Amino acid sequence: MENDTTLRRLKTIEGHLRGVIRMVEEDSYCIDVIRQIQAVDAALNKVSAQILENHLNSCVITAIKGNNAKEREKVLKEITEVFEMSTKV
């Protein structure tokens, strides 16, 4: 994923999050706030998945095709750690 696209998406999410903050400040209906938080969460997850896909298609493939065994181990360990962290949340 290009940095421009990633930044544009993140800035959109930032604006959405500011809207959620305003909702809390204005004491909006709790379920409406939760729904908006879920939308922000889903948008962040989508950006994260797109960044991961780009990483898999670039850095990881390069490392796996390369001759450096330590680099292969490093990228595979990183991917494992990312998945482990995603299940802890």
**Rounded distance between C-alpha atoms, residue 46 and residue 42, angstroms:** 6
Query: Can you give the residue range of the structural domain that contains 50?
Result: 3-88
List CB contacts of 53: < 8 A, sequence separation 6 or more: 1
Please indicate, yes or no, whether the overall pTM of this predicted structure exceeds 0.75: yes
pLDDT of residue 89: 62
Distance between CA atoms of residues 24 and 22, nearest Å:
5
Question: What's the pLDDT tens digit per position in 27-70?
Answer: 999 999 999 999 999 999 999 999 999 999 999 999 989 999 99
How many domains is the chain built from?
A: 1
Q: What is the CATH number of the domain that holds 10?
A: 1.20.58.1000
